[in-house]
Amino acid sequence: MIPNQNKPVLGYILKGYPRISETFISNEILLLEKMGFTLRLFPMRKPRESFCHASVKEIQAEVEYLPTELFENFSTLLYHNTFLAVKRPQNFLTALVGCRESTAGKGNLATLKHLLQGGYLTHNFLMKDPNIVHLHGHFAHSPTSVTLFASLLSGIPFSFTAHAKDIYTSAEKKLKRKIELARFVTTCTAYNEKYLKKIAGSSATPVFRIYHGIDISLFQQTRAQVTPKEPYQIMTVARMTEKKGLPVLYDALNILKKKGVVFKHTLIGDGDDRDAILQLISSLGLDSCCCWLGTRTHEEVIEQFKKSDAFVLPCRIAENGDRDGIPNVLVESLAMGVPALSTNISAIPEILINGQTGLTVPPSQPDLLAEATLKILRDQDLRSTLIQNGRKFVESEFDNRKWVKKLGKTFLQENKQLKMPLN
């Protein structure tokens, strides 16, 4: 079904949809719709969770899931790509050459799957809906690979948003090619922008910094500015993965416990390292003062913020190069009036200006993390400064309406077929 016969459409290619950990994407889609854009969503995976954030229910865009598995869905993929190759032989040859260059010497089945998914998307949707005039991939790795192939096969221009892991774990040669072929690229931090422009070299493709931001209206009921008392309420929201530095966090909490500091730490999130993290908590004897809540809705996270005296997230750079950009939970923490502590890696200092809007310490140093945690809990003058400055900074620099409006204008400037009056 074509959503609107008379209006140009943006096709969004996503890794998965909806995803609890990617509120910023659903907020972006919803705000674009409110601006007047019509979107169709093409996720590569169905949601892992059985629930979603409330904002997702407001989104009007049609959702069409792509075949996920190469072998399980091979007959479907082959069917559509065979017909596409017959109908558009030159486009298909160009895409095949691109696929061959990307897999040279590696036999990369993932790239083959991305080509076939791009062919499925083109034959089954793009050729049937002439209103789709622009494609946009969210994340520079697999979603943008599918988007690039769909662009080559359909002739529809594309752009993409690069975030964190998708940038720093991607081969520079492949990333450079994607940048060169894209109409434009956006990324969510100045740190990423500098890196991508370096990779792009002399490419004429513009790279724009567009922060995710947050919905400021959701954070009007902030944490009351009270003097924290023991047991201190400490909070962390994080996927249980290497780059979040959770072992360092629990080593730091163990230091505080040995010093006689009484606290309650709450962790929200899940991930591949769950068993190892829970085992570490137990082995350090922290079970009585640390609890794990698993994945929670955005509304539940906000309720936890209201109970917390400090937010701590000791991010680090993983062995494979993976790292955070600006974790949205840091922005949310400042918006809620909860002083935040993290590390000085990547783009985190763009939100936590040390001593002004938050505190930062070097990564992987539990002694320094423990010291800074105690400081952020007990230094009342510092807390007052961080709470006041942090809230003002978020309101002025991280309001998502401001940044999605810039994204909308960028779509219109870079693809004239999308030109329309915005609401």
pLDDT digit string (tens) for the chain, length 423 residues:
444 567 899 999 999 998 866 788 999 999 999 999 999 999 999 887 655 666 788 999 999 999 999 999 999 999 999 999 999 999 999 998 878 766 654 547 889 999 999 999 999 999 999 999 999 999 999 999 999 999 999 999 999 999 988 999 998 999 999 999 999 999 999 999 999 999 999 999 999 999 999 999 888 766 667 799 999 999 999 999 999 999 999 999 999 999 999 999 999 999 999 999 999 999 999 999 999 999 998 889 999 999 999 999 999 999 999 999 999 999 999 999 999 999 999 999 999 999 999 999 999 999 999 999 999 999 999 999 999 999 999 999 999 999 999 999 999 999 999 876 555
Go through the domains of the chain in sequence order and give each one's CATH number.
9-213+399-418 (3.40.50.2000), 216-397 (3.40.50.2000)
Residue (of 148, 145, 142, 132) closest to 183 by Cα position:
148
Q: What is the pLDDT of residue 420?
A: 64
Q: What is the pLDDT of residues 232-278, one digit of tens each?
A: 999 999 999 999 999 999 999 999 999 999 999 999 999 999 999 99
Query: CA 293, CA 285: separation in Å to the nearest integer?
Result: 18
Residue 38's φ and ψ, nearest 5 degrees, are -105, 130
Using the structure block, give the residue that is written with the tokens 């209201």.
306
Residue pair 170/111 in contact (Cβ under 8 Å)? The answer is no
pLDDT at 3: 47
Nearest to 102 by CA among 70, 144, 139, 159: 144
pLDDT of residue 49: 63
Task: Supply the pLDDT for residue 47.
Answer: 81
CA distance 293 to 75: 41
Give the pLDDT score at 97.
Answer: 86
Q: What is the pLDDT of residue 56?
A: 84
pLDDT the model gives residue 414 = 95
pLDDT number for residue 51: 59
* Cα 128 to Cα 126: distance, rounded to the nearest angstrom: 5
pLDDT for residue 2: 44
Tokens of 147: 């988007």
Quote the CA–CA distance of 157 and 155 in Å, as a whole number.
6
Both tokens of 338, joined, read 């909860």
